[in-house]
Chain A
Amino acid sequence: MAAWDDLTEGTKGPRREVGPLTRTDFVRYQGASGDFNPIHHDEEFAQSAGFPTVFSVGMLQAGILGCYCTDWLGAENVRAFAVQFREQVWPGDHLVCEATVARRFEEDGERRVELDLLVTREESGGAAIKGQATFVVP
């Protein structure tokens, strides 16, 4: 786990690559989360809605990003985590997770960092998720 002295503005977490994501990954996440929107696993339903095929659950890539952050700064230390969904993620996509320290401060006697987060689709180079997180640093 990263130490306070190593976390200054601009410090980057270790880059993580995930993928290729499969339909099985989508279904597995849907089972784990309880979100069974058929647009993520039912080919006919997705096509009837005008999509070329099924696409990933946004919260799957959000969950991958969240666990990426807690692997770096500790599961017990997260105090805020927010994502904004951009490009959809499709079967076969590889994702790259990145985190950058945006701010470092002390508040209520605790040391904290705010992170800027990004999930990029490797194939298109487009952002799948932009996000922010706050961690305490013991």
Chain B
Amino acid sequence: MVDKSKVGLHDDPAMMPIERGKIREFARACKSTNPEYLDAPTPVSPPTFLTTVNFWMGGGTSPLAQLDIDLRRLLHGGQAYVFHGPPPKAGTELTFQTRVDQIYEKAGRRGGTMTFVETVTEFRDAAGTLVAEARSTAIETGQAPTKEG
């Protein structure tokens, strides 16, 4: 069960370089053939690219990792990005910080309680300007869903 007192928990700010090779790798994994990602010398990043922040967090430092969620019952409910201008470009460095924004429960359709955890990661440029925000909704289900679920 997720501890609701963890709302507001946040990690320390850390730095994430936006890299051309990583953009290319990510775009290809997403089946893109767009030369804006694959061939441009300083490409912008794809809409969901900032999820690669997982690399820079290393897993253990994310506040989400401190909530003792059971991976076998963890579902990703949704993900949202806002960009305050074009998406971050290769060659820029962003400082990011993640906080637990909300924790709430809903009754599951087939019994049990589902716990929703929303985290927000803010990305700022070297001047401290907010350039992007990512909101992630994680769901801990009461039981492992089935294929028909």
Of the listed residues A33, A60, A76, A78, the one surrounded by the most CB atoms of chain B closer than 10 A to its CB is A33
B interface, over-half SS: mixed
Stretch at the interface among A7-15, A35-43, A99-107: A35-43
Asked if B29 and A32 sit within 8 Å, CB to CB, the answer is yes
Stretch at the interface among B69-77, B94-102, B110-118: B69-77
Report how far A32 CA is from B146 CA in the complex, Å.
27
Stretch at the interface among B5-13, B78-86, B120-128: B78-86
Q: With a CB–CB cut-off of 8 A, which chain A residues contact B147? A: 51-52, 88, 90
B40: nearest residue on chain A (CB-CB)? A75
What's the minimum C-beta distance from A45 to chain B, rounded to whole angstroms? 8
Q: Given that A88-B147, A133-B47 are known contacts, is A33 also in contact with B80, CB under 8 Å in the complex?
A: no
Asked if B80 and A51 sit within 8 Å, CB to CB, the answer is no
A-B contact count (CB 8 A): 135
**Interface residues of A, count at CB 8 A:** 45
Report how far A39 CA is from B80 CA in the complex, Å.
23
Q: Assess whether B129 is interfacial by the CB under 8 Å rule.
A: no
Query: B: which residues have CB within 8 A of A?
Result: 22, 25-32, 34, 36-37, 43-44, 46-48, 51-55, 59, 71-87, 143-147, 149
